[in-house]
Amino acid sequence: MNPDALAAAILSVLAPIAAERRPEEPFALAASDIVLERPRNRDHGDWATNIAMRLAKPLGTNPRELAQAVADGLAAVDGIASAEVAGPGFINVRLDAAAAGALAREIVEAADAYGTNDSQAGVSVNVEFVSANPTGPLHIAHTRWAALGDSIVRLLLASGAHAVREYYINDAGAQMERFAHSVLAAAKGEPTPEGGYPGEYIAQLARRVLEARPDLLSLDDAEQLIVARDLAYEYQLAEIKSSLERFNVPFDVWFSERTLHAPAADGGPSLVSRAIERLRAQGHVFDEDGAIWVRTTDFSDDKDRVIRRSNGEYTYFAADAAYYLNKGDRGFENKIYLLGADHHGYVHRLKAVAGAAGEDPDRNIQVLIGQMVSINGARLSKRAGNIIEMDDLLDWLGTDALRYSLERSPADSPLDLDPELLQKRTNDNPVFYVQYAHARTHNVARNAAESGVDRSEFAPELLVHETESALLGALQEFPRIVAFAADVREPHRIARYLEELAGLYHRWYDTCRVIPKGDGPIESVHRTRLWLNDATGQVLRNGLDLLGVSAPERM
């Protein structure tokens, strides 16, 4: 019996009690409203609920009296061994061994689907993250959002949402011109221009541009700049994509900022121009001193924003507005932005865009601000000179260790990672600890096969050892953990769950044998324990996949 089935059982007992006490009022409670928790002390049972305390007053009764009535009803439900009242009205429920142990088979048969749920069904979400300028390599500041953004989307997808990963390519504006001048100067053997981009990577891009266009320096000045910009941009963006691929972060959409400023296919106004008129139609645009403004103070912004200057130039805010509206046009009701620690000022601005567009800033848009990450002993890139490149970190620490360590803490917590710890093959290293538990489940399965233990029999009532009860209890919680982590956008909850599960598995492994001792006979309990072993491996594997981390079968 899983938590959902138990909640449904509690509801079936509660409904007639409520109808009897308040026949004039319909009983509107749903199974999803019944909160179940694992008691800290397992002597108190497998699950506990405070539903009687919540409903006692509306039903005009005493919490303990209502709790006792529910407990009496639950005692007659198949799969429940006992239900007892504790404290002011808690109900502690203990499942019988067969009902609890049946989960092992359910997990093995569900395989990769175990943990998926429909808590986000019908929700469309666009998650935009990383979005680094295509003027240089990705660096340490991008790694955290790359890992977290990808895992948030994995959680949303596992919870039934329609979600996409989107990268906003900042390929318009002054930074692209500085980039072009920097590459062209390197191609000519000249110093980096003032305000340009330094580093060996610029020289490498320049060499590639010259290889592709040997005639570059014979072109007129304006054409030289265009060729240098467009080719270097193509090469640098390809490098960014390669780095993210190495980091196991696939993007579904690569959105070019240039498309916001380009005329429509039918020759009509650009998306930026149309955005102004759409916001004007909502009643939040006004003209003053020759400029066009959006009254963002209507939505708690600290000041109104210029969207087009008096000289006719569009501001960055204009692109933000057009981009937000475009996401909605593509069918995304909800938009999540993952921004760095230096982007706090964007929160009110983006929420004001949502409000000015006629949407709910508290529902349709979410802006997550992450804190910086530092890694002791990390060296500045030899190519870029002033940053720590993502590729260098991957070469040094590896994708799994880097991703897991970035995802196991809340995004708003500053991180200072210890590279020596992340490279250790000991239980002190969290990612090794979890991956080793998964590899151990496969080792147990291999040894079982060699010894003739298979899954030809399943007797869940035999899974009665206290370590088996604890392990099954944790396995039951996985779908609920996934749903909650998706809802609050917090992948670290998956990592912490996996570490707890790994610990419970290791304790079970030390106590309960899948293979008989010596020449002892193979019994039902051994075959049944193999189901529990394989179920644990499946959940560890599913959880690691949600974090974008591999699940090795041997270590």
Could you tell me the pLDDT band of residue 41, with boundaries at 50, 70 and 90?
A: confident
Name every residue whose Cβ is closer than 8 Å to that of residue 55 and which is 6 or more positions away in sequence. Answer: 14, 18, 29, 66
pLDDT digits (tens, 9 = 90+) for 322-348: 999 999 999 999 999 999 877 777 888
Going by C-alpha positions, the residue among 144, 367, 164, 124 that lies closest to residue 250 is 164
By mean pLDDT, which of 2-6, 25-29, 266-270, 489-493 is the weakest? Answer: 25-29
Q: Are 538 and 392 in contact (CB under 8 A)?
A: no
Separation between Cα atoms, residue 149 and residue 147, nearest integer Å: 6
pLDDT for residue 373: 87
User: Is it true that 3-95 and 425-546 share their CATH fold?
Assistant: no
pLDDT digits (tens, 9 = 90+) for 355-383: 999 999 999 999 999 888 888 888 767 77
Q: Are 440 and 505 in contact (CB under 8 A)?
A: yes
Separation between Cα atoms, residue 409 and residue 402, nearest integer Å: 12
pLDDT digits (tens, 9 = 90+) for 386-419: 789 999 999 999 999 999 999 999 998 988 999 9
Residue 385 has pLDDT above 80, yes or no: no
pLDDT digits (tens, 9 = 90+) for 223-250: 999 999 999 999 999 999 999 999 999 9
Name every residue whose Cβ is closer than 8 Å to that of residue 323 and which is 6 or more positions away in sequence. Answer: 168, 255, 257, 260
Q: Out of 3.90.1300.10, 3.30.300.30, 3.30.1360.70, 2.10.109.10, which CATH number does the structure's domain 3-95 have? A: 3.30.1360.70
Could you tell me the pLDDT band of residue 300, with boundaries at 50, 70 and 90?
A: confident
Name every residue whose Cβ is closer than 8 Å to that of residue 87 and which is 6 or more positions away in sequence. Answer: none
pLDDT digits (tens, 9 = 90+) for 49-71: 999 999 999 999 999 999 999 99
CB atoms within 10 A of CB 190: 11
Q: Are 367 and 350 in contact (CB under 8 A)?
A: yes
Residue 11 has pLDDT above 90, yes or no: yes
Q: Considering the domain delimited by 257-370, tell me its CATH architecture.
A: 3-Layer(aba) Sandwich (3.40)
Q: Out of 1.10.730.10, 1.10.260.40, 1.10.600.10, 1.20.1050.10, which CATH number does the structure's domain 425-546 have? A: 1.10.730.10
Going by C-alpha positions, the residue among 309, 322, 370, 533 that lies closest to residue 439 is 533
pLDDT digits (tens, 9 = 90+) for 182-235: 999 999 999 999 999 999 999 999 999 999 999 999 999 999 999 999 999 999
Domain limits of the chain? 3-95, 257-370, 425-546
Residue 524 has pLDDT above 90, yes or no: yes
pLDDT for residue 286: 95
